[in-house]
Structure 1
Amino acid sequence: MLTRFTRWLDSRRRERALREHAIDDALWQATLERLPFLAQLGPADLARLRETTSLFIAQKEFSTARGLELTDEIVVGIAAQACLPVLNLSLDLYRGWVGVIVYPGEFIIRKTVEDEDGVVHEVEHDASGEAWEGGPVILSWEDAQLTDGRDAYNVVIHEFAHKIDMLGGEADGHPPLFRRWHAPLDAQHWADVFDHAYDAFCARVDAVPRRRWARFERESLIDPYAADHPSEFFAVCSEALFVQPQAFEAEYPELYRLLARYYRQDPARTGVLAGA
């Protein structure tokens, strides 16, 4: 139980963080202009997002690689996008790690994978983002700036959705449900809706003939990459919820309602949270 002294101390720490990491008005306005999907937020929510962004910056350690200069534009631009999913939840969902590493562009990931025959292979591929369980979030600044909202792509929201998913251990598309925020959602309801949607999406992807693959990739709201694993489906759908909410709700209404209730945000203005 929080004591009066603990609450006072937390309040002082918050005030100090907001004071020491205050975001300049001009920088905040420029950040909003580069992130048009934030227009779905009203003035009060934008003010809370600004405060939450400052608190996030106070808690995390930003660094860069390959000679990229760390600027306030980079820090605030990434932090604001990272804070959007937890705006009506808590920064506690990002607890247990501190590092955000930013590359100028794509970077190479090396992994050990085991094939169906049990043979272990070392593989590497280019990536625009990666979230480590218990470790940092790694991002391409070039990709983090692809925020015009013309499609549902958002690498920052994607990787921070993975971080939320990892709170319960290895990312599996079933993020933790907290009674204080997510009631009456429960694990069974999540599985009924989410797993069904994932299976249906995988079947849809598998049914695309090779000759139509490029067209499908261009036209699909949900990136076909989401079929790789339930954790990727959760992260990609989280992107769509915040970046293309109306299109997402129109194409996947039940899944939209599930994620809107999880994040406690209704960016498509469907009224789904009324009475929740």
Structure 2
Amino acid sequence: MANFLTRLIGGNRRERALRKYAIEDTLWRATLDRLPFFGHLDSGDLARLRENTTLFIAEKEFSTAHDLPLTDAMIVAIAVQACLPVLNLSLELYRGWVGVIVYPGEFVIRKTVEDEDGVVHEIEHDASGEAWEGGPVVLSWEDAQMTDGEDAYNVVIHEFAHKIDMLNGEADGHPPLYRKWHAPLDSAAWNDVFDHAYDHFCAQVDAVSDRRWYRFERESLIDPYAADHPSEFFAICSEALFVKPAAFERVYPELYRLLARYYRQDPAGVGALA
């Protein structure tokens, strides 16, 4: 009886959230029209995506900085992109935090780092997004609107990939593998493909001379920043999987199949889930 009542209460709460935070039809269509990389989804996928987006909006708290007006269009645009990676998984992967903070443009991040000699430095740099372990996701609205699919860039998918990566501790490019979704994919298989691809990419970046750097940065499907840390490689490759799937599969076929199996989506339509 207790399990039945728990399910009943949970179901009622879900239905109330879907009614209260329902996304207006015109806004939904306008949002999808600005996101060409959603084109691989069929009508059933889009219906589930709309439900998940609605529930995400119900569960999270959106706020802005520097007097940026918070609009429904802004909220839906961010929420639907955040929900794409977990469409065939679960919103449970975004548990344990509630805040989404939106800045008008890039913002300054200040960090304390310790060098190899044990000297502590205070550093700051501009950022278009930041995911805090146990805390909010912070986004540049200017960057969040760069969704034309011209390159493999999507700050929303990037930061929410970090959030998934953080579920089993500090982000390290080895996100949690759940038997109910990811079997028979296991940590050994993940490490074999992912770590090899990361090492190979780092070697490519290291081999680029200063004279060729601009050309490499311009022509590389994967942003060279991905070599900074395995967590960045995972997040940037997650962007490529969803935004430029055909090119990603062509250049990195094994890595494409690994991430397709992880997210349980095959946006390039190459049979990667078979």
Q: Is the pair's TM-score, using the shorter chain for normalization, greater than 0.5?
A: yes
SS in structure 1 of the partner of residue 121 of structure 2:
strand
The answer to whether the aligner puts 1:150 opposite 2:144 as a matched pair is: no
1:12 Cα deviation from its structure 2 partner:
0.6
Taking a change above 3 Å as real, the CA distance of residues 2 and 44 of structure 1, as seen in their structure-2 partners, is: farther
The one-letter code of the counterpart of 1:216 is F
Match of 2:262 in 1: 262
RMSD: 0.9
SS in structure 2 of the partner of residue 101 of structure 1:
strand
1:115-194 to 2 correspondence within 5 Å?
115-194=115-194
Match of 2:24 in 1: 24
SS in structure 2 of the partner of residue 241 of structure 1:
helix
Q: How many pairs were matched up? A: 274
The one-letter code of the counterpart of 2:89 is L
Cα distance in 2 between the residues matched to 1:102 and 1:230: 26
1:38 Cα deviation from its structure 2 partner:
0.5
1:190 Cα deviation from its structure 2 partner:
0.4
Cα distance in 1 between the residues matched to 2:37 and 2:225: 22
1:116 Cα deviation from its structure 2 partner:
1.8
Cα distance in 1 between the residues matched to 2:40 and 2:150: 15
* % identical aligned pairs: 79
The one-letter code of the counterpart of 2:179 is R
Provide, for residues 38-90 of structure 1, a one-character-per-residue CA deviation record: whole Å limited to 9, x for no partner: 11111110111111000000000000000100000110000000000000000
The one-letter code of the counterpart of 2:38 is L
SS in structure 2 of the partner of residue 23 of structure 1:
coil
SS in structure 2 of the partner of residue 125 of structure 1:
strand
Taking a change above 3 Å as real, the CA distance of residues 169 and 2 of structure 1, as seen in their structure-2 partners, is: farther
Taking a change above 3 Å as real, the CA distance of residues 48 and 121 of structure 1, as seen in their structure-2 partners, is: same
Task: Give runs of ≥4 in structure 1 deviating > 2 Å.
Answer: none
The one-letter code of the counterpart of 1:229 is H
The one-letter code of the counterpart of 1:240 is A
1:117 Cα deviation from its structure 2 partner:
1.7
1:2 Cα deviation from its structure 2 partner:
7.4
1:246 Cα deviation from its structure 2 partner:
0.2
1:78-93 to 2 correspondence within 5 Å?
78-93=78-93
The one-letter code of the counterpart of 2:56 is F
Provide, for residues 142-201 of structure 1, a one-character-per-residue CA deviation record: whole Å limited to 9, x for no partner: 000000001000000000000000000100000000000000010111000000000000
TM-score (norm. length: structure 1): 0.98
1:6-85 to 2 correspondence within 5 Å?
6-85=6-85
Cα distance in 2 between the residues matched to 1:80 and 1:115: 39
Match of 1:201 in 2: 201
1:17 Cα deviation from its structure 2 partner:
0.6
Cα distance in 1 between the residues matched to 2:90 and 2:242: 17
For structure 2, the 5+ residue unaligned runs are none
Provide, for residues 17-44 of structure 1, a one-character-per-residue CA deviation record: whole Å limited to 9, x for no partner: 1000100001001100111101111111
For structure 1, the 5+ residue unaligned runs are none
